Each structure stands twice: as structure tokens, then as C-alpha cells.
Chains A and B, each alone.
Chain A
């Protein structure tokens, strides 16, 4: 168990819904250790929960990699969700609000993107999907993203 403030890179396996709870705990611990505010923590944990569930349900399991990622003086956290499942054939459709292929609400990818500062989707049909998100602990509240 890393002590708070001492956040090191780690890998968390995603193979069951118990692992989803573990992912949330690890992200919470790391974000709190880096000084993320409560709202920033909540957003990042929620995004991680959505993406980890995608890894589990659509990717057939995989892992999360958690890496500290400072930018200037702002501490940050980068999370990668990696699976070697079927991949996403239609990325545009998968990123649309309300589109679901798995019985959910269709907010997983699009919603997670709104909750973080950076969002990168790398997918190849037949070879898997990697979603990488990054958030920084900002002191000043960041500007609201423009409505689309």
C-alpha cells in the first residue's frame, strides 16, 4: 500500500466486478495522495469506473495502468485501460451520447471524456482497445468545456 503523497505507477487487473471496486479504490487513493480536490477525485473515480467496466464487459477483461503525470507544478494522474478484446469498429458511434452496445445507458465513453482533461481512444478491430485519460489537480477551477 503506497503511503499518501508517494504515488507510484501501478497496474491493476480487471477481471471481475470485484476488481472494479479495487480500481476505484486505487484511483481514489492516488488522487487523494496527489492533492486532488473532492470534486476532482469524484470525477476521476467515476470516469475510471466507467472505463474499467467497458474493459471488463466489452473487452473481456484487461488491466488499468496508473501513472503520476505532473504538468508544471500541477500534480496529475494518467490512467490507461487496456484490453485485447474485439476492439471498437465504429468509434464515432461508440463515442456518441446514448449509444450503447451493452445494455447500459450509453454514457460510458462520452461521459468519461467529459469528466477528465485529456482523453485518448486507441482501438483496432480484432486487437483490442486502450483508453487513456489524464486529469490534473488544478487549484483554479478549469473553464467549463464549451457546449457541443
Chain B
């Protein structure tokens, strides 16, 4: 993709911490950058040994329905590739606003900070299953052998 020419000079960096991908979102995020990030993470998961993805949004002022959908999609895509995603560092004002907007992202696993997210990924692989929304879990339990 020719993002730079389209006015998106910077991609969001995806760092590797051991076998965990660490993504830090900061400030203004253009829609194109968010979609590029989704592809970058999926490709990194496919190419290397990744056990989890941690997305830090402590530097993000607002999460609107577009960014919320991208974050959800990143986690859903990673899960299909057997990798768990933990969203960390949401600001209180952002959480309050998202709830009022109706954007509660039920499929996303969250933690207060990166350290706790890494603990979750390292010590409790079953946590991801616990956080599956009830209705989806029921459908899965009922529908699949």
C-alpha cells in the first residue's frame, strides 16, 4: 500500500518483547494508519512465533466507533490465528465516553497496564476463553462438537 504518498507518513511501530507483540498507540491516529496496523499485526503473527499482542492506548485521547471496530477486528483476527490480544491503559474519560456511545467491545480482553497484560499472557492461557462473551460462548458450546 502506498500510504506515505496518500498522506500517512508514519506507520504505528509494532515492537517484539520476547514472543509478545507490543503496540503503543499515541495521539491522533488516522483511519488509514489504524487499518495498516491491523494488516501489520496479522502479518507479524503469520511470519514469526507470537504468543500474544498487547495494545497500549494510554496515549489515546478518544476511541470512536471506527477505532473501536479496528481494535476489535485486530483481536478477532489474532484469535483466529491462535494469538490472544490484551488492550491496556484506557483513560477514564475514554472509558466513560465509550460506554455512553454504546461501544463496550465485549470481545476484547483488557488489563490496567502492560505489566499486568504480560502477566496474563504468560501465566493464564485460559483467561482468554473466560472472557468470551456469554452469548458467543453459548453458541459455541451448543453449535460445535
Contacts and interface: CB of A to CB of B under 8 A. Distances in A.
A104 B65 contact: yes
B93 A50 contact: no
B62 A49 contact: yes
B64 interface: yes
Residue with the highest number of chain B CB atoms closer than 10 Å, among A21, A43, A107, A114? A107
A135 B20 CA distance: 42
Interface stretch (A12-20, A76-84, A85-93): A12-20
A18 B69 contact: no
Interface of B: 7-8, 28-32, 61-66, 68-69, 91-94, 96-98, 100-103
B61 A97 contact: no
Given A18-B7, A108-B65, A46 B30 contact: no
Given A16-B7, A45-B61, 16 more contacts: A18-B7, A24-B61, A39-B92, A39-B96, A42-B94, A45-B62, A49-B66, A50-B64, A50-B101, A104-B66, A105-B65, A105-B68, A108-B65, A111-B65, A111-B100, A114-B100
B131 to A, nearest CB: 19
B61 A114 contact: no
Interface residues on A, range: 20 to 34
Given A16-B7, A111-B101, A42 B96 contact: yes
Contact of B31 (A20, A42, A107): A20
A56 B111 CA distance: 34
Interface of A: 16-18, 20-21, 24-25, 28, 38-39, 41-43, 45-46, 49-50, 53, 97, 104-105, 107-108, 110-112, 114-115
Contacts of A114: 100-102
A5 to B, nearest CB: 20
A39 B93 contact: yes
A18 B101 contact: no
A46 B100 CA distance: 11
Contacts of A108: 65
Contacts of A107: 65, 101-103
Given A104-B66, A107-B102, A39 B97 contact: yes
Contacts of B8: 18
Contacts of B28: 21, 24-25
A110 to B, nearest CB: 7
Given A39-B93, A50-B65, A20 B30 contact: yes
Contacts of A49: 62, 64, 66
A64 to B, nearest CB: 15
A111 B62 contact: no
Q: Which 10 A-B pairs have the closest CB atoms?
A: A17-B31, A111-B101, A42-B93, A49-B64, A21-B28, A107-B65, A105-B65, A39-B93, A42-B97, A46-B62
